[in-house]
Amino acid sequence: MLSNNSIYSALSSSYSAKYAAGYSSSGPSDRITLASAQLARQITADTVQISGYGKLQAAVAVFQATAKGFATTDSVSSVQATSSDATVASASAVSTASTGTYNLIIGQVAQVEATVSGAFADPDAASVGSGTLSIQLGEYVSGTNTFTPGASPPTAINITGGSLNSIASAINGANAGVTASVVQDGAGYHLALSSTSTGVANGFSLSVTDIDGNNTDMTGLSQLAFDPTAAIGAGKNLTQTQAAQDAAYTVNGIAGTSATNSNITIGPGLTVNLLTAGSTTVSVTESATALTAAAQGLVDGYNTLVTAIKDLTAIGGDLAGDPLSARLLSALQQEPSTKHAGAATLNYLYQAGITANTSGALALDSATLTAAFNSDAAGVKALVNNVANSFDALVDPYLNSGGAISSVTRVVQRDLTYQETREVGLDAMSLLSSGAASTYGATLNQSLYDAWSSGSGFSLFA
């Protein structure tokens, strides 16, 4: 990089030579143009390479996440759950589920509370009323006619001259655990309310502070009051169309309840989704089907990464000729033929139906995998698990904070910064050259170019 002394010397030399005759100004200008083009190519190459390493890192990270998904034998599931009546309930199992049969009887599914107002002639023009609506979530018990508020305080909503549509929008914007909509039938337009979550604890009351001073009658805003413990038309002014309730069911004779219908655990590693009242038999069995899906996921992840590396290193690719990418690709392609720990007779992927074709892509033969599974389920699971761990260990040095991809990216980034600094120097000389019609200007530019080209950089301010 040029120092201030170097620049001063160049300026002095130029000044001393300003009377020299016969100097052609085209020489240094041509050199600057050529050097600028070379720098531009190098800057572009560095930029493309940095982008390529970013793509490589992202692709490797996705594959590692896939491999880590099979980090333990428990994560390689070989069990599946089925429901004898899929219209009543669906079931799913993870690797920790025990094989067996579960008799599921659903007495009722969980549901939200729903209410509807009386009819209005116009959802926009007519004013329902003004005042404040307060929504309180809680549990209503019909046997004792009591409403117990939930832990959250009521949500107050100010209404001024509200139409049916504007009131619905205000309720929806309050995030109070209740949603509103305007529905139409032969009688007119109605405000329909429902709790956002199922379960008996998600019932609601709607109290009103009406601008007309009467908070429970059937005029003004109080037409929308809903106190489930009050008399109809005297505070209980909405019609309940559905009561909030928990799901109720039995599993092998043991009763259970749930505020939701989804992901209800009925056994270790076994969950069900309740769809309607009825009965069904849930069976958990060892099956190659689940293991096949897991193995296919690993195969697909491998193929996606290999394809990404090949695309990046192909002629014209961002990392064409890159040795780091080539080394990673070679290591990945050796892995499928490597001997792995498993059962005594299951040590190679081909024994589980996973083989590489001539292009290096993996393919899964489900029939071979099923046969191996039926012969030694634990051995196949261990083999898939060990291969996944091996892949994880293989790519990890490329990804960690001081990993190979990050390290080589930093090297290229430093070169890019260096080349950009040199480009600034050339730009400065080009500016001088554009105004160097005199012999003095040309000689000055020649001296600066000679100093720049013989140094390791250029800065007018170093």
Spans of the chain below 50 pLDDT: 1-26, 436-441, 444, 456-462
Phi (first) and psi of residue 123, to 5 degrees: -80, -15
How far is it, in rounded angstroms, from Cα 145 to Cα 120? 29
Count CA within 13 A, CB hemisphere, residue 33.
Answer: 8
| Beta carbons within 8 Å of 272's beta carbon, 6+ residues apart | 83, 89, 90, 91, 92, 104, 264, 266, 282
DSSP code string of 20-55: --S--THHHHHHHHHHHHHHHHHHHHHHHHHHHHHH
Any alpha helices (H) in 118-234, and if so which ranges?
164-173
Count CA within 13 A, CB hemisphere, residue 242.
Answer: 16
Distance of CA 181 to the CA centre of its chain: 31
pLDDT at 378: 83
CA dihedral 309, 313, 315, 317 (to 10 degrees): 80
Do residues 358 and 50 touch, judged by C-beta distance below 8 A? no
How far is it, in rounded angstroms, from Cα 139 to Cα 149? 7
Any alpha helices (H) in 285-376, and if so which ranges?
288-313, 323-334, 366-375
Distance of CA 446 to the CA centre of its chain: 57
Residue type, 201: A
pLDDT at 127: 83
**pLDDT, tens digit, 9 for 90 and up, residues 404-461:** 998 999 998 898 888 777 777 666 666 655 554 444 445 545 555 555 555 544 443 3
pLDDT at 430: 64
How far is it, in rounded angstroms, from Cα 418 to Cα 457? 8
pLDDT at 462: 34
Do residues 13 and 448 touch, judged by C-beta distance below 8 A? no
pTM as predicted: 0.60
A 10 A CB-CB count for 321 gives: 9
Do residues 243 and 202 touch, judged by C-beta distance below 8 A? no
pLDDT at 156: 97
Show the beta-strand stretches assigned E in 163-210: 178-185, 188-195, 203-210
Residue type, 123: P
SS (H, E, C) 109-172: CCECCEEECCCECCCCCCCCEEEEEEEEEEEEECCCCEEEECCCCCEEEEEEEECHHHHHHHHH
In DSSP terms, 83 is beta-bridged to 282
